[in-house]
Amino acid sequence: MIRIPYLIISLASALLAASARAEPPVDAARARQIATQHACFGCHAVDKKLVGPAWRDVAARYAGQPGAAATLVAHIQNGSSGTWGAVPMPPNAISPGDAQAVVQWILAGTRTE
């Protein structure tokens, strides 16, 4: 038999542990600025396919996947092909930190706030 106070303490501990592992807040303005500076909007849009996939589609595909951020940073820096069809994504001269900021924004659903 599970005692109620023990159950409440266990649930509270689990919630606190999960919040401690949460991603840092996304700086949407900075991420958009980086994406603009590196001409990402020439091939991508937030909510519709252009040359490359919509970023909301990217977020949906990679949601909950371990290592998704690292994979996407590598795609941005090194280029990729075959992931979203026949058109390859060329490599981009972007710092790892800037690529990570853009990826966090994409995976967070490209929020604007």
Please report, for the chain, the start and end positions of each structural domain, with discontinuous segments joined by +: 24-107
* CA 47 – CA 95 distance, rounded (Å): 25
Q: Does domain 24-107 have CATH number 3.40.1130.10?
A: no
Q: Which of 3-12, 13-22, 57-66, 93-102 has the lowest mean pLDDT?
A: 13-22
The rounded radius of gyration (Å) of the Cα atoms in the chain is 18
94 against 23, higher pLDDT: 94
What residues form the annotated binding site?
40, 44, 89
Distance CA 22, CA 25 (A): 9
> What token pair was written down for 74?
């590598």
Kindly report, residue by residue over 52-89, the tens digit of the pLDDT: 999 999 999 999 999 999 999 999 999 999 989 999 99
- Asked if residue 4 has pLDDT above 60, the reply is no
Q: Say whether pTM exceeds 0.85.
A: no
Name the residue among 60, 64, 59 with its Cα closest to residue 31: 59
> Nearest Cα to 40, choosing from 89, 84, 87, 85?
89
Mean pLDDT to the nearest integer, 10-32: 63
Q: Which residues belong to the annotated binding site for heme c? A: 40, 44, 89
